[in-house]
């Protein structure tokens, strides 16, 4: 099942800089792992914002929820999730 997820990251200004850099490194590693597995199919940065739009390919909403909880930056995110399905006029499966 495909889901489009918008993730906006809001880190407090007084958050420890070194701790934040370590958190970002863990986030990058997890995102790369999920992309290599094919679960995180697409990842686009939203220009001018600390935000992205992503496409996930998971079995169901429960799997997506668990995946989102595994992201190190999740405690600092607001998210918007949209379930997707193929459009009958689409000429490509991807």
* Domain parsing of the chain, residue ranges: 2-84
Task: Check: CB of residue 43 under 8 Å from CB of residue 52.
Answer: yes
Does the structural domain 2-84 have CATH classification 1.10.3720.10?
no
Among 84, 52, 46, 48, which Cα is nearest to 68's?
Answer: 52
Say yes or no to pLDDT of 42 above 80. yes
Q: Is the dihedral of CA 70, 22, 5, 32 positive or negative?
A: negative
Say yes or no to pLDDT of 92 above 90. no
Mean pLDDT on 65-92: 95
Task: Check: CB of residue 10 under 8 Å from CB of residue 76.
Answer: yes
Mean pLDDT computed over every residue of the chain: 96
pLDDT attached to residue 10: 97
Say yes or no to pLDDT of 93 above 90. no
Strand partners, 77: 9
Say yes or no to pLDDT of 79 above 80. yes
């Amino acid at each position: 099942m495909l889901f489009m997820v918008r993730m906006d990251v809001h880190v407090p200004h007084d958050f420890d800089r070194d701790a934040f850099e370590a958190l970002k490194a863990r986030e990058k590693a997890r995102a790369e792992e999920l992309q290599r597995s094919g679960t995180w199919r697409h990842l686009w940065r939203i220009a001018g914002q600390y935000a992205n739009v992503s496409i996930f390919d998971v079995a169901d909403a429960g799997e997506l929820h668990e995946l989102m909880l595994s992201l190190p930056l999740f405690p600092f995110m607001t998210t918007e999730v949209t379930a997707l399905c193929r459009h009958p006029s689409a000429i490509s499966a991807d």
